[in-house]
Chain A
Amino acid sequence: QQPVQSPQAVILREGEDAVINCSSSKALYSVHWYRQKHGEAPVFLMILLKGGEQKGHDKISASFNEKKQQSSLYLTASQLSYSGTYFCGTENSGAGSYQLTFGKGTKLSVIP
């Protein structure tokens, strides 16, 4: 089942922070985060594994709450280059075979 992302869209001014949430109705084994700019392919940001720690690089980090079956992506001091659509992809625990199910995306626009 497709994870639910919120918000659907957000507009930020440069330097502001944002949080994007990803929730699943099923127990999660891992959560992937990707960013896609208009007309381009998705690009990997990070993977969070069950039992793993919060991850991050530069000013983008993410957390994974197994009990709540959700993940959050944190963008700090946003830059113009952060604009794009962010997708979470979830892998369910005990699924048997590997499948990554993506949410519908959150469109982030950073303006000067």
Chain B
Amino acid sequence: NAGVTQTPKFQVLKTGQSMTLQCAQDMNHNSMYWYRQDPGMGLRLIYYSASEGTTDKGEVPNGYNVSRLNKREFSLRLESAAPSQTSVYFCASSVREGGEQFFGPGTRLTVL
């Protein structure tokens, strides 16, 4: 089992460009999450999906959109990247809401 996988591992964008971060899990988990981690700020929830077909905003959703493509995959899209979105992005999954979360390796994004 690969657990939670994320692509790409690193990305550099120019201001205004768009991109999609991909996340997939092979643990048959129902819930999936996107976090961003900035130095000294901890992990902040961007969006989550409690189950296939549902998505909800987290603490910092502005500038992002998500798609729960199927039970395995949950993507995060930046429509028009800004320097303030420079961060490390983690995807996570859990069997159910409130359960132990398994994190992917992260995507390090730099917006110039």
> B residues near A, CB below 8 A?
31, 33, 40-45, 48, 50, 56, 58-59, 90, 97-106
Contacts and interface: CB of A to CB of B under 8 A. Distances in A.
Interface of A: 2, 30, 32, 34, 40-44, 47, 87, 89, 91, 97-105
B42 A87 contact: yes
Contacts of A40: 105
Nearest to A47: B100
A106 to B, nearest CB: 10
Contact of B56 (A43, A97, A103): A97
Contact of B97 (A32, A87, A98): A98
Given A87-B43, A102-B43, A41 B59 contact: no
A41 B50 CA distance: 21
Contact of A41 (B48, B97, B100, B105): B105
B100 A2 contact: no
A20 to B, nearest CB: 13
B45 A99 contact: yes
B39 to A, nearest CB: 10
Given A41-B103, A98-B48, A105 B98 contact: no
Contacts of A30: 98
Contacts of A2: 42
12 contacts: A2-B42, A41-B90, A41-B103, A42-B90, A44-B101, A47-B99, A98-B48, A98-B50, A100-B33, A102-B43, A104-B40, A105-B42
Nearest to B104: A41
Nearest to A30: B98
B62 to A, nearest CB: 16
B102 A100 contact: no
Given A2-B42, A41-B90, A99-B59, 9 more contacts: A30-B98, A42-B43, A44-B100, A44-B102, A47-B98, A97-B56, A99-B45, A99-B58, A100-B45
A101 B45 contact: yes
Nearest to B43: A102
